Amino acid sequence: MSKLKVIPEKSLANNSRIVGLLAQLEKINTDSTESDNARYVTSKILHLAQSQEKTRREMTTKGSTGVEILLLTLENTKDLQTTLNILSILTELVSTGGGRRASFLVAKGGSQILLQLLMNASKDSPPHEEVMVQAHSILAKIGPKDKKFGVKARINGALNITLNLVKQHLQNHRLVLPCLQLLRVYSANSVNSVSLGKNGIVELMFKIIGPFSKKNSGLMKVALDTLAALLKSKTNARRAVDRGYVQVLLTIYVDWHRHDSRHRNVLIRKGILQSLKSVTNIKLGRKAFIDANGMKILYNTSQECLAARTLDSLVNTSSLIMRKCFPKNRLPLPTIKSSFHFQLPVIPMTGPVAQLYSLPPEVDDVVDESDDNDDIDLEAENEIENEDDLDKNFKNDDIETDINKLKPLQVPGRSIEDLKMYEHLFPELVDDFQGCDLISKEPKPFVFEGKVRGPIVVPTAGEEASGNSGSLRKGVVTKEKMSFRRDESIKKPAFMNLPKEDIKGNDRTLSQQLDGQNRTVSSAHGLNNDIVKALDRITLQNIPSQIGQGLTTGVRKDYSLPLTVLMCTKSCPHNSTCGNTLFEGRTVQLGKLCCTGVETEDEDSESNSSVEHASVEIPDAPTLHDPDLYIEIVKNTKSVPEYSEVAYPDYFGHIPPPFKEPILERPYGVQRTKIAQDIERLIHQSDIIDRVVYDLDNPNYIIPEEGDILKFNSKFESGNLRKVIQIRKNEYDLILNSDINSNHYHQWFYFEVSGMRPGVAYRFNIINCEKSNSQFNYGMQPLMYSVQEALNARPWWIRMGTDICYYKNHFSRSSVAAGGQKGKSYYTITFTVNFPHKDDVCYFAYHYPYTYSALQMHLQKLESAHNPQQIYFRKDVLCETLSGNSCPLVTITAMPESHYYEHICQFRNRPYIFLSARVHPGETNASWVMKGTLEYLMSNNPAAQCLRESYIFKIIPMLNPDGVINGNHRCSLSGEDLNRQWQSPNPDLHPTIYHTKGLLQYLAAVKRLPLVYCDYHGHSRKKNVFMYGCSIKETVWHTSDNAASCDVVEDVGYRTLPKILSHIAPAFCMSSCSFVVEKSKESTARVVVWREIGVQRSYTMESTLCGCDQGKYKGLQIGTRELEEMGAKFCIGLLRLKRLTSSMEYNLPSSLLDFDNDLIDSSCKVTSPTTYVLDEDEPRFLEEVDYSAESNDEIDIELPENADYENSAPEEVLSDSESSRTYPP
């Protein structure tokens, strides 16, 4: 029960008193003769305002007329004391209560009346000082709240009044201080700033500011703030440069820096830096700063400030100025176009490729050093008077608002006769299975029948070989035929086939071996240095088989290769001959073998210990990796550079590590430290080595032979490294190759490093990235694969690297090459690595690599292992790519129960699910999700069998094989983003998209529209896994139009699948999903399949490259285990969707369709033409924000996990790793 609030009698008296006084004042205003009474009443009101907060509050509450009465009196009175009283009252009102009271005063017309008062008072000779002080003080506080204040002040002539007051009373600090404060507000308007500059305000400010002094520090602070605002005008900045004020500012800054030992004047020091920051916005200012030795001055002073955290604002501002003034350089490349060229069958008339072909040859040599948006400096003349009327509220112009364009419009696009070319890809619609044995329905074990070869055996230095032809010779690495125990249902690669105890029982535990920067070095697989020098390259010769012809027509049961003699390309000290060539044909080279001679104290000593063959316990799932088969597939894979090497990670394979990898905590100040090291390159140029150690553009470059220089390579499938420059002894700049037939898209990387030393911190800088932000700023680490670790039974990619950050650098490209964008800068990914082994061979990647050859290998293994009586599996070739590689099309469903008509009809009438992935080559996580989907669909799990009996799956697991093979990040060989070609794909330039769309058009034509279409992608700037879908209602709702008045009737079933996934998939986040249709995405698969084909449930499923910030995996970086689990959970979601949509199509649980409650109520923002983000995205890593800013401050929503809606068939349990381990990378 609420109590009545008792108002004190005194309070009532005060309130009634102020009301009475205001009423008296209002009455007095009508009689100009009662000046004495006005003086008396205003003095009483002033007394109450000074002593009672309630009085101030009442006068500024909504509906109060008190301020209006005061302003009216101020406007009409001629009495000086009354004027002073009212000014004092207004000062009391705006001095407290924040900006609300200032806005209230502006709304009542206060700024116009006060400006007029300023004009009238200036006519007195001399002007009354107290009136001027108070009027300027009030205007300085309310001016920022008035959008038209700058225009009003200019029209009233107040600019020169204030400026002249300062000039005439320079020694009167009491008057000058509020005048400077108001000049600061005037200067926020660029026209005012230019006008004041012409009247000498810049020179006037330099009369006020000066060297260190304990006097008048407040005045100097305000003067510096005013100067910084004035210098934002390019006209004023040029005037300051012409008068040599850049040197003056630097001298003053050094003086304050030296004398302010107790850091009591940090704001003044920052004010000087802000002025330097403003003046260096123009090219002349940057040049003057460099000429005045500003880089060295700010570098030295900022380094001296690092010790005190309170001086971070000075360090950060200094860093920004130095970065801005660092001379812009072009990349050290002959051209920013790709090192490789592919001749297209057709040159498009428009688009990026046509633009690229039309670029003049000298365009790559031009670097924009002009001022941003500085074509013509006519700021004052071109300033529009209504500039403050511009809508400053963000409006997303990319959201489609045309209802007609949003409504699905099913048109075949191609004639029925034309679409008949796809009939042969749908044999399941006509097959009667008369020649098939459909007797047994019992699931058979998922067994691989192909032979799995033994491991690569690395003999120790002193191991003697027997004399027969199949023996091992010293110095020759070959493959040893090993006998190993084989489980009847699962067969693992032999190189993984050691007992689990070999890991757990090892003297050095996993934590010891992988412990941060000081990882210990294993001695179990030591190699003599001489041996490894002799084994610098291994050549695998082709075998005389026709396996390449059988990639699509048949599958060989025996994938093993005959014993291959490995040829050394260097002289071998142990053998007079290193073998001979047994086979003819194309050669495939395996990358360097690692040398672990660091573990051997005496290099000449011999060891008789044999190599231990280790394996890692893996989940009970089919093993799809076969090194020998992989080699054979690589030989038939066509690449533009004609790669002849195989990366060891792709050969050995990858299994998820048995420990969890947390999102990396960002060290405080890491970015500014890296930037300072970059600035040192300019200040201490003599310390820079600047030696090219890898160069694709110069095939004749000499690889340095020094032992302390790292060796690099990426001449293998999906590799992408163009050039490496050694900067310092242990620091290297790396440049990525552009996508072929393009001059940009640099983000994906995959390269090899060798020749390292343990205990040394190596810094790698990838200097030509393009995205403006990255998850590398929010805890993501690059991936590293160690060959030595793989030989030690740890064949996995791990997150590695410390001091990771992503920031804009000083390299840029011309506006022509950047498509008209001025000042287009590149970004740097930098990370530091301590290698665990000496002379290891390590690989680094942007994300877990998944090559085209790996896909073909996995598909062949799946095809050879499935039970044809239980699973209908068919692998067709959809089409050939531009370079002649096949694009696989997979069909998976359950075989019919029998030859009975009803069973055949049930088989043919199953709804279709259409899946695709990897249209963007750099999004390798999409392939790992697809791998999880394929393995689950082919498994013996009862739920998987139920799923196969429910649907026919048409899957294109890799839409862009050429891009994947050649190490592209986003494009195909046509130089275009294939996911922007779905509206009008060209059969010659975009064959995979053209024919994929054709398949969907065929299904629409035969009335077999897919129930679900989903395109798997990866997302570089968001965490978790989420979906984008298509909804008319949600799109209209997000436009801020009145959606309620829009007569949109829409089935909200498109939300069902994402809602199901949010309950069953730990990595999936419903709050990150969006169902808005944007103009920039109108030619993507998701939108075209929804609008043109008519698939309501058309999705893009985005998987993070980084990790999760919610749910079961919160705080962990994502791995292949979690990605494959997501692929399997997607299948389970489809099974539940089937149950919900079959018998309950129009009676779904409300929890799955609560559209009104689940609408994403965040404003939509478009940060770039190709990047749609929501407010849930990571905050932009603004360069003016503290460099240690983290993104882990969002509200985490714990989603219900494993919620079920009904009893279902047993589902596969994808177990977590048994051990949870945190290790410093």
Which amino acids are annotated catalytic?
Answer: 1102
Do 357 and 341 touch, CB atoms closer than 8 A? no
Packing angle between helix 201-208 and helix 217-230, nearest 10 degrees? 150
State the pairing for strand pair 952-956/912-917. Answer: parallel
d(CA 295, CA 279): 15
Do 953 and 913 touch, CB atoms closer than 8 A? yes
CB within 8 Å of 593: residues ≥ 6 apart: 458, 477, 527, 532, 535, 538, 787, 841
Packing angle between helix 283-291 and helix 312-325, nearest 10 degrees? 110
d(CA 853, CA 633): 6
Give the single-character DSSP code of 795: -
d(CA 88, CA 81): 10
CB within 8 Å of 131: residues ≥ 6 apart: 80, 83, 84, 87, 117, 121
Block residue for tokens 């940009």: 744
Percent helix, strand, coil in the chain, to 5, is: 40, 10, 45
d(CA 1137, CA 382): 60
d(CA 609, CA 204): 84
Give the single-character DSSP code of 602: S
d(CA 657, CA 797): 8
Do 1098 and 1092 touch, CB atoms closer than 8 A? no
Query: What end-to-end distance do the CA atoms of the chain give, in Å?
Result: 60
State the pairing for strand pair 1012-1019/1097-1104. Answer: parallel
Sheet holding 783-786, edge to edge: 711-713, 750-754, 841-845, 783-786, 798-799
Name the E strands within 512-664: 538-540, 567-568, 588-590, 645-646
At 1179, list the tokens: 């905050």
At 1090, list the tokens: 């929804």
- Within 10 A of 978 (CB to CB), how many other CB atoms are there? 26
Do 943 and 321 touch, CB atoms closer than 8 A? no
At 1213, list the tokens: 């349990």
If phi > 0 it is left, if psi is from -120 to 50 it is alpha, else beta; for residue 579 that is left
* CB environment 38-62: b (16+ within 10 A), e (fewer): bbbbbbbbbebbeebeebbebbbee
**How many CA atoms lie within 13 Å of 406's alpha carbon, on the beta-carbon side?**
21
Estimate to the nearest angstrom the gap between the alpha carbon of 196 and the chain centroid. 43
Amino acid at 626: D
3-state secondary structure of 708: coil
d(CA 915, CA 912): 10
Q: How many residues comprise the chain?
A: 1225
Per DSSP, the residues of 333-386 read SS-SS-SS----SS--SSSHHHHHHHS-GGGGG----SPTT-S---HHHH--TT
